[in-house]
Amino acid sequence: MQILDGKKVSEDIKNEIAAQVQEMKVKGEKVPHLAAIIVGNDGASLTYVGSKVKACERVGFESTLIKMPSTTSETELLKKIQELNEDDDIDGFIVQLPLPDQIDTQEVLMAIDPSKDVDGFHPENFGKMALDMSTFIPATPFGILELLERYNVETKGKHTVVIGRSHIVGRPMSILMGRKGFPGNSTVTLTHSHTKNINQITSQADIIITALGVPNYLKAEMIKDDAVIIDVGITRVQDETSEKGYVITGDVDFENVSKKASYITPVPGGVGPMTIAMLLKNTLLAREQKRCK
């Protein structure tokens, strides 16, 4: 069994990006600038956004964090988005999800200028992705592709089973794994809450990508020998013995599943850090595309 070490690979990617930023600085060019909007005080979301801003500093990007109260109206958020769309200094920005109930997420995502949509959530970018056109690929799926590529995990002709059909991970992942090329060329099954006989399906999978948010959901008896296991789950589970009062737990029963798998991502230290690295990569791409306009 080999660990797919997202922590290490993401560090490699950040070093590569930092070197490119250094070159930009030497040439006197403007460095990429990422902005992030967060609405409300959800602890996990604040942590993720904080990590994104810290990663910007680490590679030499400029960053702006915009915190808005949980009572923010959709109109107020759309106004802020318009400001960022029009701000020439900002190369790319994200709106951290989930948003409070009074705000229509789809309306918000559609208001983002597609050329600054480094999350790849705008329908124009999502459509381009589905049509194999060059665009921003959502950071978590992009990170999974990058991990598979850097470890040279064979995907061609394999049966990939995706668990969960979220717009952020499961749905785009199911499209990307079926695309032509590497990683891709898989036969894909997208499973969700209405899927029947899930164990029968997962036990036929060569590659399982689980993005469910149910701690320890995937058990050893649900997989076949030598399956590749990608765990996107990051749930905070209460644990009084830990300093923070919780531990981050994946969707996979790692202890038992890892004994059967050929490759597996740990939680933490697998897909999570890759998401941040690929957001930086998309921001660099946004900057380069703007420069070439």
Q: For this structure, is 52 an active site residue?
A: yes
Q: For this structure, is 119 an active site residue?
A: yes
- Both tokens of 138, joined, read 């959502």
157 marked ligand binding residue: no
Q: Which is nearer to ligand GUN, 95 or 103 (CB)?
A: 95
CA separation for the pair 287, 278 (Å, rounded): 14
Binding site for ligand GUN (CB under 6 A): 94-97, 119, 139-140, 168, 275
Q: Could you tell me the smallest distance in angstroms from the CB atom of residue 46 to ligand GUN?
A: 12
Q: Which is nearer to ligand GUN, 32 or 202 (CB)?
A: 32
165 marked ligand binding residue: yes
3-state secondary structure of 17: helix
Marked catalytic residue, from 5, 91, 117, 119: 119
Marked catalytic residue, from 14, 52, 116, 158: 52
- In the bound state, the residue with its beta carbon closest to ligand GUN is 97
Q: What letter represents residue 74's amino acid?
A: E
Rounded-to-5 percentages of helix, strand, coil across the chain: 40, 15, 40
- Helix H or strand E encompassing 54: helix 43-59
Q: Which is nearer to ligand GUN, 141 or 184 (CB)?
A: 141
Q: For this structure, is 117 an active site residue?
A: no
Marked catalytic residue, from 5, 20, 91, 96: 96
Q: Could you tell me the smallest distance in angstroms from the CB atom of residue 96 to ligand GUN?
A: 5
203 marked ligand binding residue: no
234 marked ligand binding residue: yes
Q: What is the 3-state secondary structure (H, E, C) of 143-205?
A: HHHHHHHHCCCCCCCCEEEEECCCCCCHHHHHHHHHCCCCCCCCEEEEECCCCCCHHHHHCCC
Q: Which is nearer to ligand GUN, 186 or 282 (CB)?
A: 282
Report the DSSP beta bridge partners of residue 246: 238
Q: Could you tell me the smallest distance in angstroms from the CB atom of residue 2 to ligand GUN?
A: 26
- Sequence-distant (6+) residues with CB within 8 A of 270 are 4, 5, 6, 7, 147, 230, 231, 250
- Helix H or strand E encompassing 50: helix 43-59
Q: Could you tell me the smallest distance in angstroms from the CB atom of residue 143 to ligand GUN?
A: 9
Q: Which residues are annotated as a binding site for NADP(+)?
A: 164-166, 234
Q: Which residues are known catalytic residues? A: 52, 96, 119
